[in-house]
Structure 1
Amino acid sequence: MEIDAWVWWLIAAAGLGIGLVITAMPELGMLGVGAVAAAATAGIFGGDAVFQVVVFAVVSTALIAVVRPIANRHRAHRPQLVTGVDALKGRQAVVLERVDGSGGRIKLAGEVWSARALDTGHVFEVGEQVDVVDIEGATAIVM
């Protein structure tokens, strides 16, 4: 019993799909779609092997040429998630105890923080809004 060409193409597509899952290389998925297109060509049109390979190559190449740049563009423009003390930089806080170059207290993101002024000669009084420019250890640097 001879196995039809479209079955071989589907086996190849399944193998590429397994490779995609194991390696997480999206190009393998695109090659798998090319193999499915070649299987459809063999099953529907019954084309010869050369025509099937050409369909596989054209569909796979087209997918890689079109999808890959789009995916790279989306990956490059993805917003970066800022966490920890980096998320506090640039936020506003309220002075709880007078803040000067040597210290003080602020309320930042619902928590009480020790703080000191960026400009050692500047003083912030209770109730003033300040901007956090940096975090050094457990001390917010404000201006």
Structure 2
Amino acid sequence: MEPTAHFTKTALPGIGARYDLDTQSGRHLSVVVHQDGRRVLGLHDPEDEDSCRDAAQLDPGESLALAGLLKPDPVRYLRQHVEIDLVTEHIPVTKRSPFAGRVLGATQARTKTGASIVAVLRRTDAVPSPTPDFRFAIGDVLVVVGTREGVDAVAELIAGG
């Protein structure tokens, strides 16, 4: 979602800055950002933008919480309106795995199961988006994304079942 509202900024020497927004409904809002991190949210009289009807002082934590509430979440919309049934699992490569010491491409995991190995965790490192020539080692943990059935099928494949 692209931002369409435009703020104006006014420097407030010794205090911080004031950001003003005129909404589509004709309301005038301002946020004064103090140098110490405090914010003051102001609601102005539509007839006189210099006349503040009400204000709420917010500390940095409150400002962050309010920002989280105000920020649109397009993924939430998708979750509510599109059925996405994906899971993520961590699957270990054990010494019993037929793929220990072999390359990712040999598993044909995506072709056989529809699930994807999106990363490999090795000791304290992570390898995101491993290529087909990535060689598995005993102790690797595969990060697999797919449907419940697909991820379970990858677990069975890697375990040698």
With normalisation by structure 1, the TM-score equals 0.30
Please identify which structure carries the higher helix content: 1
TM-score by length of 2: 0.28
Structure whose CA Rg is larger? 1
Higher strand proportion? 2
